[in-house]
Amino acid sequence: MKTWIAVFTTIFVMLPAPAADSTETKRTIIDFEILNGGLPIYQGNTLAIKINNKPDVEKFGINVFGKIYRVNARGVAFVGIDADQKPGKYDIAPIDLNDKETSWQYEFFCSCCNCKTIEVLPRKYEEERMKKFTPTEKQKQQRIHEGQ
């Protein structure tokens, strides 16, 4: 019990105190969309996420699956979903890469107001066995000549 109290106390001490004047805390609202056309998202797929804040798109990133992905010059981040990724719901949080404090909060608490949730669905991959390779006479001769 004492350990939990110490952990929570440490976390809340590290969080920034709310400003007395709300105009002081100016957070950038990052507008983004998922470009997969409403299709289901399966293990092994690629996820395309576009940030629509055009003027300074280079300073933004996407936090998903516990990793931060940078966007390209057009504001698109391509996220490969691992075939071993556990099926389930995951939050996508856009972050300002220049603001380390906000970035840290997004990573641990998803405290932004425009996070989106995706659901990764399971996919069964067929197992394919390779047959034993037996070279033809032409391939055998070619290998002999390559070795000389």
Residue type, 83: A
Contacts of 99 (CB under 8 A, 6+ apart): none
Task: Return the percentage of the chain with pLDDT > 90, whole number.
Answer: 13
In this predicted structure, what is the pLDDT of residue 19? Answer: 43
pTM for the predicted model, two decimal places:
0.59
Q: 28 vs 80, 132, 140, CA distance in Å? A: 27, 59, 65
In this predicted structure, what is the pLDDT of residue 89? Answer: 93
In this predicted structure, what is the pLDDT of residue 38? Answer: 83
In this predicted structure, what is the pLDDT of residue 79? Answer: 92
In this predicted structure, what is the pLDDT of residue 87? Answer: 93
Residues in the chain, pLDDT under 50 = 13, 17-25
